[in-house]
Each structure stands twice: as C-alpha cells, then as structure tokens.
Structure 1
Amino acid sequence: MDEKLGIAGSGAIACGLAAAAARHGQVVLWARSPDSARRAQAAVAKACGKISGEVNAAHVSVETDLDALGTATAVIEAVVEDPVAKAGLWGGLAGVVADEALLASTTSSLSVQALGAASGAPERFVGLHVFNPVPKMQLVELAFPVEATERTRQRAQDLCAALGKTAVAVPDIPGFVVNRLLFPYLFSAVTLQEESGLSAEAIDTCMQLGAGHPMGPLALLDFVGLDVAQAIGEAIGAPVPATLTALVEQGALGRKTGRGFYDYD
C-alpha cells in the first residue's frame, strides 16, 4: 500500500478498518483516552484474528496523542456520526495532518461537502463509506466535495484497491446509495411488526428464507445499532418508527448494549 494510514477513532468501524489495513502495512489509530485505547487494541486483535491468512495486530499502533497522526499520508476520521463531533475533530486535526495528506471520513449519511469544508482542505477530502464488518465487506462508497481534485479522486480509488475493496463513486446525497435504499426497507419491517404483532424471528426468517437475505431486517438493525439507524433515518428523511425510537430512549441499542429487537443476554 502506497499510503501510510492514520485512523482517528476507536469504534467498530475504526478498529475494523485498522485490521483490514494491517495486512498491507503499518497503521496508526488514535483513541481519545487510555480506556478507549485499551478497548481498541483488543478489538483490533480480535478483528485481525478473524481475517483469513496471517494478519499481525502489532502492525496497528494505538495512540492517544493526536500528533501521532502527523506522519500519515492518508488520515481517515471514523468517529460518531454527528456533524458537530466530526467537525470538532477536523478542527483539531488541522494543525496535525501533513499538508499533502489525503483526508477522509467514514460518514454513512452526512454531507461530504460540509465535512470537507470543516477539514480546511476540501480539495484533498473524500467521504469513504466502508461497511461493517469492514474486513469482510467489499464495498466502499466514495463521495467527494466539489473542490476535490482529480488526484484526490485517484488516490481514494487506489487506497480502496490496495485494501482489496471495490470502490464505487456515488453522489454526495444523504445516505449515498446503500443507506438511502436500505433503511426505508429496514424501517418498513419495524412498521410491519407494529401493525401485525409478528415476532422479530418470524419477520427475519421470512426475509432470509423467502428473499435470500443473509440477515433479517430486524437483526440487521440490531447489528448496525439502533441509535445509528435512527441518525441515518433522520439524515435521509425516512420516518423512524416509534418502536425503534422508544428502544433508543430506553438505551436498548441492539447488540452493543445486549438488547434491541432481540435480547442478547
């Protein structure tokens, strides 16, 4: 891989991306706190262990000093899907990242144009939407601000190819392509459950065995995270079902909290 990758974030997407990149070279991952760094180190090691072939988790250096990203030639922000949080981080990165570094965000629904402006260098910016679990999922949606140069576009394509991913350039619209089409369908499953009283298992089994889906819609919502699903729905203008909103208010966010449409405890 020609780029030296730096990742700002320590959640599932950030750790999965670090593990996927570790087979191709050294990666620096920034975590906000020592506790976050310890969790990230464990998550990266676990993700590396699930990748076919030998992937050395030691290739990922987890740091708590933002300056550690200063030597990266490509910096990918992968923090919570909140425009204020992302813009704030880009403000902090402005004095850290190298002048020629490729800048990217893993946003799944926010305006790439606005994030590019927050970075201070929209000509070098790309929305690089990877899918969870990152080591297994092949697609990357690429969206660019209008200022992005042809060199930026080519570097983004080359980075995805080096990671073994298939990149598709998509318009900078809320939800891009996949989420814009996917989440109205997922929400329709919740609405069907509300109207019919069917169990989550019944709905998911129908879609798995009848439509050939690898995962049912309600299980998929739990996997994504119901708070994330709610944020995406609001961003793309898809009505969020009352049941999903109620679960989020209860702190039942899906697999990561042990309860959502299913009980994982």
Structure 2
Amino acid sequence: MSERLAIAGTGAIACGLAAVAATRGEVTVLARSEASCDEASAKVGALCDKLGLSVNGNVRVSRDPDVLRDATFVVEAIVEDPETKAAFWRDLNGHVPAEAVLATTTSSLPVSDLARASGHPERFVGLHVFNPVPRMDLVELAFPEEASDATRRRARALCEALGKTAVEVPDTPGFVVNRLLFPLLFEAVRLMERTGLQAEAIDTCMRLGAGHPMGPLALLDLVGLDVSAAIGRTIDVEIPATVDRLIAEGRLGRKAGHGFHTY
C-alpha cells in the first residue's frame, strides 16, 4: 500500500477498514476519546483474530489529530449525520498535508456537500465500503465534479491495494446499492406488518428461495436500524412504523443485542 492511510472513527466500518489496511501496511485510527481508543484497539484486534489476519503491529490508535500530519489518504468513517461529518471536515483543516486525499465512507449522503465542507473538493472522494469490510469486495466511488484526475487515480489505486473492486457511481443519494436495496428491505418489514409473519420466516424464504446470504430483516439488524432509517430518509423512502418503534425501544439491531432478531 503506497498511501499512508489514516481513518477517523471507531465504529464497525472504521475498524473493519483498519483491519484490512493493516494487512497491507501501517494505518492510523483517530478516535474521539481515550475510551474510544481502547475500544477501537480491542475491536481491530478481535476482528483480526477472528478472521486470521496478521497485522504485525501496523495499527496505531490515537485521539490526537496531529497524528494525521503524515497521512496521505484520510478516510472519515464517523456517524452518518451530515452536520457531524461536515463539522469534522471543517475542523480538519491544518491537521493534514496539502497533498492528502480526503475520503468519506458515507453510504447515502451527498458527497459534493461534504467535499465543499472540507474546503478541498478537488481532493475529495466518497469511498463507500460495505460491512463487514474484510469480507465485502465492493467499494462504490463517488466523486464531486471538482475532483482531480490524480484524486480519481489514487482512490482507485487504494481500493486495488486493499484487494477491493472499485466501481465509480454517480453522486446521487444512496449511490447504487443502497438506492436499490433499502426499498426492498423496508418492504420486507411492511410484509411482516401486513401478514404477521415472523422475521425468521421472511429471512429464511429470502435466503433459501432467492439465494440471499442473509435475510432482509437480519441485514437491517446488521446495518443498524438507526443507520437504516437515516439511509431511508436520505433516499426518500418511507420508514416502516416497526423500524421507528424498535429504534425508540433501543432495539437497534446486532450492535444492541436485539432488533428484529436477538443476538
């Protein structure tokens, strides 16, 4: 990996990406607190152990933004909220080199808006990786109009170095996968509401009948119901009442121990 990669965030996407990158070279993870530092280190270590990945001490976790000064490729993987992400990019100025490529892992927000917030749209890219990162091959690349040819080349080269397949997609809400996928996932919830079918029954039908590796309700749990609802609102898809109810109850999916299923 020729880039000096830094990742801001400590969630599933950030830690999964860090684990993959660490098998190719050194990677820095920027956390927001000491507790987040410890949590990220544990997550990356556990993920590598589970998947049999060898990272040879290549992961450095810190809460000091000055660790980004040597980065040539900075990936933001924080909460899927436009104001929070925009504030991160505005505050980042002065902490990264002038030649660094700036990337966001947003799954649904307009890349052009975040690029403007960064102040450097010519060096900006939407780098939508999929969860779980070590197992999912696709990366959707979405560029603002101002992105330079060098930015495009370096983004594709990073994906190749990480062993991923990059597909350039338009900067439209939800890109390709989520724009097509989430209407289907939410329709599965509405079918459950209309018919009284159990979540396991719907998921089994789609796994065994449609060849899906995971049923739609289990997939919503994996993504997180709060994140799923945010994506739905961004792509202008009505959120089923059951999803809103489960979120209000704190049943956010796998990360909370229960959603449509119990974990």
Q: CA deviation at 1:52?
A: 4.4
What amino acid does structure 2 have at the position aligned with 1:85? T
Helix, strand or coil at the partner of 2:132: coil
CA–CA distance in 2 between the matches of 1:192 and 1:107? 28
CA–CA distance in 2 between the matches of 1:218 and 1:6? 33
Q: Hey, what does 1:27 align to over in structure 2? A: 27
Q: Could you tell me whether the CA contact under 8 Å between 1:126 and 1:143 is conserved in 2?
A: yes
Q: CA deviation at 1:54?
A: 2.8
CA–CA distance in 2 between the matches of 1:152 and 1:242? 42
Q: What are the residue-to-residue correspondences of 1:146-165 with 2, within 5 Å?
A: 146-165=145-164
CA–CA distance in 2 between the matches of 1:249 and 1:189? 20
Q: Hey, what does 1:128 align to over in structure 2? A: 127
Q: Hey, what does 1:179 align to over in structure 2? A: 178
| Deviation per residue, 1:37-76 (Å, 9 max, x gap) | 10000001011123345333x2100001011111100000
CA RMSD between the two structures = 0.8
Helix, strand or coil at the partner of 2:128: strand
Q: TM-score, normalised by structure 2?
A: 0.98
Following TM superposition, the consecutive aligned residue runs of length 4 or more in structure 1 with deviations greater than 4 angstroms are none
Q: Hey, what does 2:233 align to over in structure 1? A: 234
What amino acid does structure 2 have at the position aligned with 1:4? R
Q: Hey, what does 1:4 align to over in structure 2? A: 4
Q: Hey, what does 1:196 align to over in structure 2? A: 195
Q: CA deviation at 1:101?
A: 0.2
Q: Hey, what does 1:245 align to over in structure 2? A: 244
CA–CA distance in 2 between the matches of 1:163 and 1:47? 16
Q: Hey, what does 1:37 align to over in structure 2? A: 37
Q: Could you tell me whether the CA contact under 8 Å between 1:208 and 1:214 is conserved in 2?
A: yes
Q: Hey, what does 1:144 align to over in structure 2? A: 143
CA–CA distance in 2 between the matches of 1:17 and 1:128? 11
Q: CA deviation at 1:198?
A: 0.2
CA–CA distance in 2 between the matches of 1:14 and 1:66? 16
Kindly tell me the number of residue pairs found equivalent between the two proteins: 263
Q: Percent identity?
A: 63
What amino acid does structure 2 have at the position aligned with 1:54? S
CA–CA distance in 1 between the matches of 2:46 and 2:192? 35
Helix, strand or coil at the partner of 1:50: helix
Q: TM-score, normalised by structure 1?
A: 0.98
Q: Could you tell me whether the CA contact under 8 Å between 1:123 and 1:152 is conserved in 2?
A: yes
CA–CA distance in 1 between the matches of 2:143 and 2:20? 23
Q: Hey, what does 2:85 align to over in structure 1? A: 86
Per mean C-alpha deviation after superposition, the further-off stretch among 254-263 and 191-200 is: 254-263
Q: Could you tell me whether the CA contact under 8 Å between 1:30 and 1:65 is conserved in 2?
A: yes
Q: Hey, what does 2:211 align to over in structure 1? A: 212
Q: CA deviation at 1:250?
A: 1.2
Q: Could you tell me whether the CA contact under 8 Å between 1:49 and 1:55 is conserved in 2?
A: no
**Structure 2: tracts of 5 or more residues without a match:** none
| Deviation per residue, 1:79-134 (Å, 9 max, x gap) | 00001110111111111011000100000000000000011100000000000011
